[in-house]
Amino acid sequence: MRYDSRKWTGDRHASQRRRRSTRWVLVAGILIAAGYAVARMFPLVAPDTLWGFEAGVLFPVILGIRISPFGRDSWLTPRGLSVFDECERDMLQRASSYSYRVVLALLVCGLAWLAYATRFGAPSPRSWQQWASLAVIVTCIGAALPVLFAEFLVPLPPKGDVEEDL
């Protein structure tokens, strides 16, 4: 357990500063990682090396998760979710639902592609390095999607530091 002075001083929003660029870092990171996962199926583009470029390719995704307040706080637990207000909680749960749907759709599309590739000889993962790389990338993308959807669904705070009281 760690000590958090912001919890006692009531300065909750100081730890949750949000930037518009976080969204686009996550989008770019996910697109780069997905492109690299596809490129791994072509041996001429990405040779078979275990953990060749995965760390570098996944760096923008990991960076985007770390700079987002939704990636830093464990909002997937009831205790972490209690920090947010009602509207934010609803949006975070909706973001989780959307990300599960997208991951499920990606898995179904991947299985359909593997069935097609087996039948017609299209490019597909053939070595264990390619399968391991694909597993790491898909896991990282699956972990980043709830944070990405939360960044887009939860509205940004007003430009000023002072919140309006009604």
Name the token pair of 51: 């953990």
Which residues lie closer than 8 Å to 135 by C-beta, 6 or more apart?
none
Helix (H) or strand (E) holding 88: helix 86-120
Rounded-to-integer distance, Cα 100 and Cα 9, Å = 36
What pLDDT shows up at residue 72?
Answer: 67
Return per-residue pLDDT of the chain as tens, 166 residues: 454 444 544 555 445 577 788 889 999 999 998 888 888 777 665 555 555 677 778 888 888 888 888 876 666 666 667 777 788 788 888 988 999 999 999 999 999 999 999 999 888 888 887 888 888 888 889 989 988 998 898 887 776 655 545 4
What pLDDT shows up at residue 4?
Answer: 47
Name the token pair of 38: 């596809």
